[in-house]
Chain A
Amino acid sequence: MFNSYTETRLKYYAGKCINCKRCTQVCPHAVFAEGKDHVELAQPASCMECGACALNCPVQAIEVQSGVECAWAMISAALRGKDMDSGECSCGGSESSCCGPSQEQSCGCERK
């Protein structure tokens, strides 16, 4: 109830894992943990779908549909009849940092 962040589209195929542990290095939420023969999917609900793990997995053992989680971009895409998933982070289209000045924060879209 009142928690929309319990499911993600993260998929992990443990059988393919070669235990290089890159995913444990790149994940900012400790979703993966070191295991015996392969890494373990420790906290899937913490996944924010940034896509770093999948992109850095050398054997494609991880799949995740990543994208900018900017509500404004998604709402305006929906209103314009476009697919919400295709919505770019239009927030900073022209270089204005969509990301707000915080250096390592996620996309704080300016709403114009």
Chain B
Amino acid sequence: MEPDHTTGPSCCSGMPQENASPCTCSTAAVPPGIRTTDSEITLANRLDHFLARWGFNREGHRVEPGLFRLGNPAPDFPVFASANYTLSFDALRSALAGTDAWILVLDTRGINVWCAAGRGTFGTEELVRKITETGLASVVSHKKIIVPQLGAPGISWPEVMRRSGFSVEYGPIRARDLPDYLKSHRATPAMRRVEFPLKDRLVLIPVEFVHIALPMIVVAALLWFLAGPVAALAAVAGIIAGTVLFPALLPYIPTQDLSTKGLILGLVIAIPFARAFATNPALPGWANVAGALTALLIIPAVVAYFALNFTGCPTYTSRTGVKKEIFRYVPVMALMAGTGVIIGIILGASRFMGMI
């Protein structure tokens, strides 16, 4: 899954071939001509990938859907299906460096193959539509289209066959395995297995973090004002643990459930803060205990909630399992957070009223 390539949002990027057919960037519903692309990942492509990873202009990382010539394919050359998300399209065309082929880009509204397949936008309907719209049957001399394996949750090959006459061949999960795959058109078991390695987990962090950065600053500022700098730091630590540390450490945290992993990570993060609150000599004993409890109850609950919301990312979570997690742990998290907040309020009110 090399996040390497492609075009910016316009259909025109990533196709520096002199014989490119005229590129109409208008969004008019004109049946698109066949465009030309190559395997080169330009600096502009890399910038586009970087921005996509940071969640900048989320709607904008698109390739114009339709049929592309990669290099100079003859009518009997293979056809590959892809999504109109630049990271997906670029992964495909760069993996095929040195190969001439046809690329059929489906309109997945700028979403990657797997996610779009899950929602059906990378699906039978759209595949058949694009085959028809582009007149693929008259462009190529065969009736086969190679679809990424992770497109399968949206594609029914018997349906595609029945409706378009094209047979679907499921290629490997990762575009980078294509050169090996194409030697025999057989995928090894490893090519068919999805993993969730460190690199794939790390690339998800920026976008998660960008979403939470502003609320985090607000919460930290409020807490600083209400309860002091240590409390503000605790909020920052909890949120960073939930959004940055959690994905990075995922496989190393004990237990299987994401919620319990989050609780454990949160507890580890909470301990130093609990200790700091518990040893404040300016406050009476009960207030020290209450302060420590607040940290021990709220931080793990918050981190666990972030962890639970990460369920869409790991490549092994099932809907049944996530539902179980929700019923098992959300009440616990709510109870912990609620109790912690109440203790915190009592503590704050006592201080405010000069009782301690």
**In the complex, how many residue pairs between chain A and chain B have their CB atoms under 8 Å apart?**
227
Q: How far apart are B119's CB and chain A's nearest CB, in angstroms?
A: 6
- CB of A28 within 8 A of CB of B312, answer no
Contact A110 B211 (CB under 8 A): yes
Binary contact track A49-74/B, C-beta < 8 Å → 1, others 0: 11110011010000001111111101
17 contacts between A and B (CB under 8 A): A24-B192, A25-B187, A27-B192, A48-B316, A56-B156, A58-B158, A66-B319, A68-B119, A68-B319, A72-B309, A74-B323, A98-B312, A99-B118, A101-B52, A101-B53, A105-B112, A107-B312
Query: Cβ of B324: which chain A residues have Cβ within 8 Å of it?
Result: 4
Main secondary structure of the interface of B (DSSP, over half): helix
Q: Smallest CB–CB gap between B4 and chain A, Å?
A: 10
B323-348 CB mask vs A (1 if < 8 Å, else 0) is 11110101000000000000000000
Complex CA–CA separation, A112 to B33 (angstroms): 39
Set B58, B115, B149, B158: member contacting A25, Cβ < 8 A: B149
Nearest chain A CB to B260's CB is how many angstroms away? 5
Given A25-B187, A68-B118, CB of A110 within 8 Å of CB of B55: yes
The distance in angstroms between the C-alpha atoms of A25 and B191, with both chains bound, is 10
- Assess whether B312 is in contact with A69, with CB atoms less than 8 Å apart: yes
CB–CB A51/B312 < 8 A: no
User: Is A37 interfacial (CB-CB < 8 Å)?
Assistant: no
Chain B contact residue count (CB 8 A cutoff): 73
Indicate which residue in B3, B157, B315, B323 contacts A106 across the interface (CB closer than 8 Å).
B315
Give the secondary structure class of A's interface: loop
**CB nearest neighbor in A for B195:** A28
- Give the complex CA separation of A75 and B312 in angstroms: 13
A2 on the interface (CB 8 Å rule)?
Answer: yes
Chain B CB within 8 A of A5 CB: yes
Separation of A105 and B52 alpha carbons in the complex (Å): 14
**Shortest CB–CB separation between residue B180 and chain A, in angstroms?**
16
A8 to B56, CA, bound (A): 36
Judge whether A103 and B91 touch: CB under 8 Å. Answer: yes
Are A71 and B203 neighbours in the complex by a CB distance under 8 Å? no
Q: A104-B113, A104-B150, A105-B200 are in contact. Are A97 and B85 (CB under 8 A)?
A: yes
Q: Are B194 and A104 neighbours in the complex by a CB distance under 8 Å?
A: yes
A106 with B187: CB separation less than 8 A: no
Q: Type the 1/0 row for B140-153, where 1 means its CB is closer than 8 Å to any CB of A.
A: 00000000111011
B318 touches A69 (CB 8 A): yes
Contact residues in B for A14 (Cβ distance below 8 Å): none
Q: How far is the CA of A9 from the CA of B313 in the complex (A)?
A: 20
B221 within 8 A of A: no
Q: Which of A26, A94, A110 contacts B170 (CB 8 A)?
A: A26
- Judge whether A95 and B109 touch: CB under 8 Å: yes
Tell me the minimal C-beta distance from A80 to chain B in angstroms. 14
Contact of A112 among B189, B192, B211, B314 (CB under 8 A): B211
Contacts of A50 in B (CB 8 A): 118, 152-153
A22-59 near B? 1/0 per residue, CB < 8 Å: 10111111100000000000000011111110011010
Q: Which residues in A have their C-beta under 8 angstroms from that of B118?
A: 50, 66, 68, 89, 99, 106-107
Asked whether, in the complex, the Cβ of A8 is within 8 Å of the Cβ of B153, the reply is no
Output the residue of A25, A78, A89 with the most chain B CB within 10 A. Answer: A25
- 11 new A-B contacts, CB < 8 A, other than A66-B319, A97-B115, are A5-B257, A5-B321, A6-B321, A27-B192, A30-B193, A58-B158, A69-B312, A95-B59, A100-B207, A103-B113, A105-B115
The answer, yes or no, to whether B256 is at the interface (CB within 8 Å) is yes
With A97-B58, A100-B313, A101-B52 as given contacts, are A26 and B152 in contact (CB-CB < 8 Å)?
Answer: yes
Which residue in B111, B313, B322 is a CB contact (below 8 Å) of A74? B322
Q: Report the 6 A-B pairs with minimum CB-CB distance, sorted nearest first.
A: A99-B115, A107-B312, A52-B152, A26-B152, A3-B256, A4-B324
Say whether, besides A97-B115, A108-B310, A49 and B319 are in contact (CB < 8 Å): yes
